[in-house]
């Protein structure tokens, strides 16, 4: 029977990223990644539009994406792989005053975290993209930097090729949990809690 300290079910971008980050953060136990389809043909990772943007309403999401963009841009130094980030930006459009208000609120959150999002009036949108009909628009929000699309399969390859985790091609069909606990280290006193899987 094969054994590992950590078994990750699914080896596309999230599973492989977990394996890679665990090692980077000093985990020195054994890690096994079990993936049923190494072509990844039907994984979301392969089907994805591979877009990344900083335009969110919540600060945490903006920061998560900033980390992601930095990670993608640093791939050549880290792995010798260019993930081909195309910083074409996202353009979000509002066609009501209430929608414009939301774009203003989101913009305030984004620029607080150094996103370069700009707000554009309908005429500003029209100047930049003359083919767009702006007659029914009230406002646009555009991210000229750190937004666009990239090579998500290249990112997956980077994680897979640079993790020392054992890669297994198989389908996980059954999970039997014998014992599981997690420790809440940030509480005043570390406590153990049983994990319940529903």
Least spacing, CB of residue 15 vs ligand FAD, in Å = 5
Closest CA to 82 of 91, 73, 71, 94: 73
As a residue count, the chain comes to 198
Residue 189 CA to its chain's centroid (Å): 33
Q: Which stretch binds ligand FAD (CB under 6 A): 9-17, 77-85, 130-138, 176-184?
A: 9-17
Least spacing, CB of residue 190 vs ligand FAD, in Å = 30
Can you tell me which of 4, 7, 10, 66 binds ligand FAD, judged by CB under 6 A?
10
Told to check if 147 binds ligand FAD by CB under 6 A, we report no
Residues 31-70 that bind ligand FAD (CB under 6 A): 34-37, 40, 43-45, 47-51
Toward ligand FAD, which CB reaches closer, 104 or 145? 145
Rounded CA separation 107/120 (Å): 11
Least spacing, CB of residue 155 vs ligand FAD, in Å = 10
Rounded CA separation 150/136 (Å): 32
Axis crossing angle, helix 59-73 with helix 97-112, rounded to the nearest 10: 60
Least spacing, CB of residue 186 vs ligand FAD, in Å = 26
Toward ligand FAD, which CB reaches closer, 15 or 122? 15
Rounded CA separation 68/58 (Å): 16
Closest CB to ligand FAD: residue number = 10
Rounded CA separation 173/59 (Å): 38
Q: Are the C-beta atoms of residues 13 and 71 closer than 8 Å to each other?
A: no
Residues in contact with ligand FAD by CB under 6 A are 9-10, 12-15, 34-37, 40, 43-45, 47-51, 171-172
């Amino acid at each position: 029977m094969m054994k590992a300290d950590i078994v990750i079910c699914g080896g596309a971008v999230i599973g492989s990223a977990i394996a890679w980050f665990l090692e980077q953060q000093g985990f020195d136990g054994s890690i096994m990644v079990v993936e049923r389809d190494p072509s990844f043909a039907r994984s979301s990772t392969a089907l994805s539009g591979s877009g990344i943007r900083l335009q969110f309403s919540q600060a945490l999401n903006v920061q998560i994406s900033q980390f992601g963009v930095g990670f993608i841009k640093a791939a050549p130094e880290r792995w010798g792989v260019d993930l081909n980030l195309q910083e074409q930006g996202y353009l979000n459009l509002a066609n009501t005053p209430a929608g414009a208000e939301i774009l203003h609120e989101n913009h305030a959150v984004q620029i607080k975290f150094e996103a370069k999002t700009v707000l554009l009036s309908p005429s500003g949108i029209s100047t930049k993209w003359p083919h767009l009909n702006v007659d029914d628009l009230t406002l646009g929000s555009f991210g000229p930097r750190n937004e666009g699309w990239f090579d998500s399969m290249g990112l997956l390859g980077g994680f897979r090729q640079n993790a020392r985790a054992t890669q297994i091609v198989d389908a996980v069909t059954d999970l039997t949990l014998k014992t599981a606990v997690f420790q809440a280290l940030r509480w005043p006193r570390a406590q153990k809690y049983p994990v319940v899987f529903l």
